Amino acid sequence: MTIVSMQEILAQALQHGYAIGYYESWDQYSLEGAIEAAEEAHAPAILGFGGAVTNPDWLNTRGVAGLACLARCLAEHAGVPAAVLFNEGQTLGQIRRALEAGCNAVMLDSSGLPFEENVALTRQVVAAARAVGATVEAELGRLPDAIAEAQHAALTDPDQARRFVERTGVHALAVSIGNTHLVLEGEIAVDLDLLARIHEAVPAPLVLHGGTGFPRAAVPDAITCGVAKFNLGTRLKRLFLAGVRDAMPDPLRVRNIHPYVGSRDKDDVLLRGKERMKAEIIELTKLYGSAGKASLYSKPIQERFCVDQGTVA
């Protein structure tokens, strides 16, 4: 299956009334879990990794390029249409590395900046992405953090959102309507009326980060209000860790360590984490309505993105 642009994946979601889950990954096991879940659910996928909760020194030396190449390879060999996203990059340098390494979608985490600075920096991201035909997501408004309650948060203003999209040319806009990062338990109250007003003001597909705590009952209304993508990470890492913990052997009884680390057999502790994560992704894919939608891409799609067709600015 040819890699497709995230712009195309989100456009299909809007047209057909469903949403795509972006299930943030961090290594080969988690990337495999995300793409295998999409294949089993026969759903289009946005495969990728993020920069917000990863050591920046590692990202800047080999992390961005290494994970981008791995995600790109898995997407190219997937049985469903897939885009490759670098989510919440922390610097323009990271964004450029991601584009050069094969990501065909990027998002810079600039929502904490004042409006004009956010616009100016996002325009630079759009220019760099345009050089290689990549999709750009940006964020306006700032999500609260369930762990650091004192962190500044701001809801998205519909008129500002309209002006932001017009001035930057982004392909998708992440918004703040009460959705919250790093939710460990329960669901968060969200303002669907505000979401509806943002949808009326903004022609671009909308994105909701902080999907772990987003109310499941509110998902259909959010999709009606233009949400084409939900981001999740916290819930998946918790499930992955629980799977690893449950699979850990008693070290005093282990005579051969190899079955438990990297064997890809039933005793591999990381495989058990991956399977726990994968099962949850399949259920969320059904919730968002994207299960079975890979058939919308039954005709061959020639991806417009190519790392050789332009120089990243």
Residue 221: CATH number of its domain: 3.20.20.70
In a domain, 55, yes or no: yes
Full residue range of the structural domain in which residue 81 is found:
6-233+284-297
In a domain, 290, yes or no: yes
Q: What is the pLDDT of residue 298?
A: 59
> How does DSSP classify residue 228?
E
In a domain, 87, yes or no: yes
- The C-alpha angle 290, 293, 294, rounded to 5 degrees, equals 120
* CA distance to 152, 163, 173, per residue, from 75 (Å): 36, 34, 24
CA distance linking residue 133 with residue 5, whole number of Å: 9
Q: What is the pLDDT of residue 225?
A: 98
pLDDT per residue rounded down to tens, the chain (313 residues): 578 999 999 999 999 999 999 999 999 999 999 999 999 999 999 999 999 999 999 999 999 999 999 999 999 999 999 999 999 999 999 999 999 999 999 999 999 999 999 999 999 999 999 999 999 999 999 887 777 655 678 899 999 999 999 999 999 999 999 888 888 888 889 999 999 999 999 999 999 999 999 999 999 999 999 999 999 999 999 999 999 999 999 887 888 999 999 999 999 999 999 999 999 999 999 999 999 999 988 554 444 334 443 445 5
Q: What is the pLDDT of residue 149?
A: 59
Cα dihedral: 191, 162, 15, 155 (round 10) = -20
Q: What is the pLDDT of residue 307?
A: 41
In a domain, 250, yes or no: no
Q: What is the pLDDT of residue 185?
A: 82
What is the pairing mode between strands 20-23 and 82-89?
Answer: unpaired
Burial per residue of 86-123, b for 16 or more beta-carbon CB atoms within 10 angstroms, e otherwise: bbbbbbeebbbbbbbbbbbbbbbbbbeeeeeebbebbb
In a domain, 269, yes or no: no
Residue 273, both tokens: 């984490």
CA distance linking residue 82 with residue 85, whole number of Å: 10
Residues 6+ apart with CB under 8 A from 187: 213, 214, 215, 216
Q: What is the pLDDT of residue 147?
A: 76
Q: Which of 48, 53, 30, 50 is nearest to 145 (CA)?
A: 53
In a domain, 83, yes or no: yes
Residue 86, both tokens: 């670098």
Q: What is the pLDDT of residue 25?
A: 98
Q: Are the CB atoms for 30 and 278 separated by under 8 Å? A: no
Give the other-Cβ count within 10 Å of 280's Cβ. Answer: 18
In a domain, 59, yes or no: yes
CA distance linking residue 137 with residue 86, whole number of Å: 10
Residues 6+ apart with CB under 8 A from 224: 17
In a domain, 255, yes or no: no
Q: What is the pLDDT of residue 255?
A: 87
Total domains, the chain = 1
pTM of this prediction? 0.92
